[in-house]
Amino acid sequence: QQQVKQSPQSLIVQKGGISIINCAYENTAFDYFPWYQQFPGKGPALLIAIRPDVSEKKEGRFTISFNKSAKQFSLHIMDSQPGDSATYFCAASNPARGSNFGNEKLTFGTGTRLTIIP
Amino acid sequence: NAGVTQTPKFQVLKTGQSMTLQCAQDMNHEYMSWYRQDPGMGLRLIHYSVGAGITDQGEVPNGYNVSRSTTEDFPLRLLSAAPSQTSVYFCASSRQTGIYVTEAFFGQGTRLTVV
């Protein structure tokens, strides 16, 4: 059972356009929602993250929108560039037993392959 | 500063063979984890550790063992390889990088094929 559902599976956006990737979760114990970016042949890397006490977080061209009541969150990439072409994973975490911080145990979505065309 | 180092990068096993995927980090992180990545499935947590001597199961632990004798190393053992274990395996270590912000640092991955 997929606890974090991600859509679309693939996305093609023209350079300069807005890329939007959506995720929905079921487990109300999740309290941390990061997005990871993965280039071919590499491991994922943290892009941006949000906690449920805010509805939006922006870092440069990347914005997370969060809707706690709907249990949904999304990634918006403004002015999309060819260098943004990668696979994007949303994730959610609930506390790991014995952890000092509680946000390391990640449940990932299935990924979105984003392609930015000139 | 090497970060998270995984070895080997590629491996082909025959069904029934055993092997150990190595993972080492030099960032002194307490939390480490193993994921497998399969097409259309995203990354799924196999096992994790919150410190030396402490390990726990993730979402898909069957067929895998882990141990954590030191902070730096977190090897993943395949007991008797099966074709269903063909996947790309990622090791990660995590730390708090800001207020309520936790970042997982992933290795480059090990691509395992079981024939």
Please say if the pLDDT value at position B63 is more than 60. Answer: yes
Q: Sort out which chain A residues have CB atoms less than 8 A from B107's CB and list them.
A: 43
A to B CB pairs, distance under 8 Å: 81
Residues 61-90 of A with CB under 8 A from B: 89
What is the rounded CA–CA span in Å between residue A78 and residue B86? 37
Instruction: Please tell me the predicted confidence (pLDDT) of residue A58.
Output: 96
Per-residue pLDDT tens for A22-51?
999 998 888 889 999 999 999 999 999 998
Please say if the pLDDT value at position A104 is more than 90. Answer: no
Residue at token pair 């114990």: A29
Please say if the pLDDT value at position A8 is more than 50. Answer: yes
What is the rounded CA–CA span in Å between residue B61 and residue B103? 23
B64 secondary structure, DSSP code: E
Tell me the pLDDT band of B99, cut-offs 50, 70 and 90.
Answer: low
Put simply, whether A54 touches B (Cβ < 8 Å) is no
Please say if the pLDDT value at position B7 is more than 70. Answer: yes
Instruction: Please tell me the predicted confidence (pLDDT) of residue A97.
Output: 47
- Computed over every residue of chain B, the mean pLDDT equals 93
Q: What is the mean pLDDT of residues B16-36?
A: 95
Helix (H, G, I), strand (E, B) or coil at A71: coil
Put simply, whether A37 touches B (Cβ < 8 Å) is no
